[in-house]
Amino acid sequence: MFDFFRKDFRLYFLRKRVDYDKAVKYYFIDKDVAYITCKVSGLDDIVSHYSVPGYELLNEDFSNYLERIMVHIPEKYPLVLEITGHQFTKDEQTRIEDAIWTQFELQFGAVQQKQKSGIIRVIWFAVFLAVSALLLLNTRQMLYEMVYILFWFFGDRLIEYLVLDEFDISREKMHYAQILSMKVIFTDKYTDEDISDNEADSYRGEIIRNIMDNEI
């Protein structure tokens, strides 16, 4: 009997499936709001002790924890971050919110720069592609193959950026825009209670105001 269970298990592993969308909704989505909870014991768990007041960034562990979760949140949902486990003063809450904004504003800006440099590359590739096409029509046989290779190289890079890179950059930009517009709330103790319809509507309204009031 036990010989039957000693067989190669790779086939079973290959057949394993997970309902990813259902898991994301179960763990993070409540009333069509993406809700993330982080348990901390004090300000040092969130704000990097290397940063100075007024220019504070997030603690690396806290930032990595948020990133690991937020990568699973679909962009269509407004985002609420609950920071629980410690009673923060109003000044500390403001410092935390500013550190979160600064951290992800810089990352959002970096994505914007990547998008701008990509547009410049597209323009140059388009120019080189046009020049290569003209050379193909007016080049002698000896140089034809070299120009032909250049033509397909520039064409391939242009299509790769427009089809693949631009899509990835747009998704990344949307990801950080979602984070920058999120609502941050502070609770002393985690309760694991579902949010009410009124709370969900209130969060959505505040997130819309965050988007309208800040340039993202």
Residue 51 lies in a domain: yes
Residue 16 lies in a domain: no
One digit per residue, the tens of pLDDT, for the chain of length 216 reads 555 556 777 888 888 888 999 999 999 999 999 999 999 999 999 999 898 888 899 999 999 999 899 889 998 899 999 999 999 999 999 999 999 999 999 988 888 887 777 667 767 667 766 766 666 666 655 455 555 566 666 666 666 666 666 777 778 888 888 998 899 999 988 888 888 889 889 988 888 887 777 655
Residue 177 lies in a domain: yes
Residue 5 lies in a domain: no
Question: What are the DSSP E strand ranges found in 18-100?
Answer: 29-30, 33-39, 79-84
- pTM for the model stands at 0.74
**Residue numbers of the domain that contains 152:** 33-70+78-213
User: Which among 33, 68, 24, 23 has a CA at the least distance from the CA of 194?
Assistant: 33
Residue 14 lies in a domain: no
Residue 58 lies in a domain: yes
Instruction: Report how many domains make up the chain.
Output: 1
**Cβ neighbours of residue 131 under 8 Å, at least 6 residues apart?**
none
The answer to whether the CB of 88 falls within 8 A of the CB of 186 is: yes
Residue 20 lies in a domain: no
Element (H, E) at 94: helix 90-138
Residue 12 lies in a domain: no
